Structure 1
Amino acid sequence: MYIHIGEDHMVRVNEIIAIIDKGSAGASGLAESGAAINLSKGPFKSVVVTGKNIYLSPLASTTLKKRSARMGIQDF
């Protein structure tokens, strides 16, 4: 199964390690890493970490959480 993380980009659900809100990501310095792929045309709202990439998403972490819950893939 896939989840849409913004700007026509889909990620396999089983590849997602973490979805972090902008505030937490900013404090960790994760968003400033050179490896991050910016999917947002403006400021990002969340960070999606996979085994291969780090994505800066224009979608809020709560929105991504709701999408994962709707698909029945959430373990929270």
Structure 2
Amino acid sequence: MFLHLGGDVMVCKKDVIAIINAKAKQSPVTKEFLEVASDEDFIKSISSEEKEKSVVITTRNIYLSPISCNTLRKRSDISSLTDNT
């Protein structure tokens, strides 16, 4: 199954590692992580900087999405990601 992150971007749900609030970018650890990822060209922005609501970390890229964490969580149905049956 796929998860729509906004714009024309969809990712495979099994590739999603984490979905975090964009406000977490203010944390020193998260800020450093995103700076390194930016230097390595892993960050893909789907929205303008002032409209970022979430950061979606996948196995291949990091997406800055205009869609809130709660909406992405509901879309992804997280329980299906952890259900091994």
Same fold (TM over 0.5): yes
Structure 2 unaligned regions, length at least 5: none
User: Which structure has the higher relative contact order (CA within 8 Å, separation 6+)?
Assistant: 2
SS at match of 1:19: strand
Whichever residue aligns with residue 20 of structure 2, its letter is I
Give the alignment partner of residue 45 of structure 1, picking from 43, 53, 57. Answer: 53
Q: TM-score, normalised by structure 2?
A: 0.74
Structure 1 unaligned regions, length at least 5: none
Identity of aligned residues (%): 38
- Runs of 4+ with >3 A deviation: 30-33
Shift of 1:7: 0.6
Structure 1 or 2: larger helix share? Answer: 2
Shift of 1:72: 5.8
Whichever residue aligns with residue 60 of structure 1, its letter is S
Which structure has the greater CA radius of gyration? 2
RMSD: 2.0
Counterparts of 1:36 and 1:4 in 2: how far apart (Å)?
Answer: 17
